[in-house]
Amino acid sequence: MNPTARLLLAATLFGVLPAAPSFARPEYAARENAACNHCHVVPGGPRNFRGLFYAANNHSLAAFDNQYEAKLAGVDPAAVGGDAVTKTPNYPRRTVPAGLNYIYPDIEGNRVNLARYAGSVVMIVNVASQCGNTPQYAALQKLYEKHKERGLVVLGFPCNDFGAQEPGTEKEIQAFCTEKYKVTFPMFAKVAVKGQKQAPLYRRLTDKAANPKFGGEIEWNFAKFLLNRKGEVIGRFAARTSPDDPELVMAIEAALKEK
């Protein structure tokens, strides 16, 4: 009798679950340093969508955004087995807007492909917790709540580049935002928005060649870039500009009306 069979027999006889070796991680899980339930809801059970994606495409799961990929594939992100089989012809071939072709960890460390927001009107803001502009969180949240059903999403990127006004950890930043300002719009891990360590997203946003009309170095915390549903930058608003500024609101309203 082989080791797996002995373990299964023991589980049957003594009413206990077999130890981990009965579900030895397959090669791809070992390569990704992920447990089997990364690709199976129950180890040894049918694959979930993430597992089917890996098996079909042999792509790394390190940057896999289940929500984004499932949307493209036309399946429920929680689907397993036959329900998780892609419904979209030629998936995973897709065209991603250049302005959203980036992957970043959110404030809880989950990888997020910004392309999941393609088709939405996106406002990207570099935020900080100890700045004179910090109260703008309240107006950003209000703006998001008012327009999110129509397709607006606000993306907050904490940065410590200006006056060291975001010194905390992601956990501390998240607690501050949610407890003090009740923030529910997507927040990301800390990034650099200028200098040698500048995040690629901000390198593109500020690059005069890639973004000739709205490029230029970020001036301070709470600078705002507005992207239309195609992922194109259509506006930039200064750090001191309040999110409820009439000109900014007008620009959002106009972008939301576009199909």
Q: Which residues are catalytic?
A: 131
> 183, 148 in Cβ contact below 8 A?
no
Amino acid at 174: Q
Furthest CA-CA distance within the chain = 75
Tell me the residue length of the chain: 259
Distance CA 255, CA 157 (A): 22
CA 90/CA 1 separation, integer angstroms: 45
Report the alpha-carbon distance of residue 17 to residue 181 in Å, rounded: 45
**Residue 43 has what DSSP assignment?**
T
Give the containing element (helix H, strand E) for 82: none
Q: Where are the alpha helices (DSSP H) in the chain?
A: 3-14, 27-32, 49-57, 66-73, 136-147, 170-181, 200-206, 246-257
Nearest CA-CA partner of 241 in 225, 259, 256: 225
Token pair belonging to 70: 């499932």
DSSP 52: H
Q: How far apart are CA 136 and CA 133, in angstroms?
A: 6
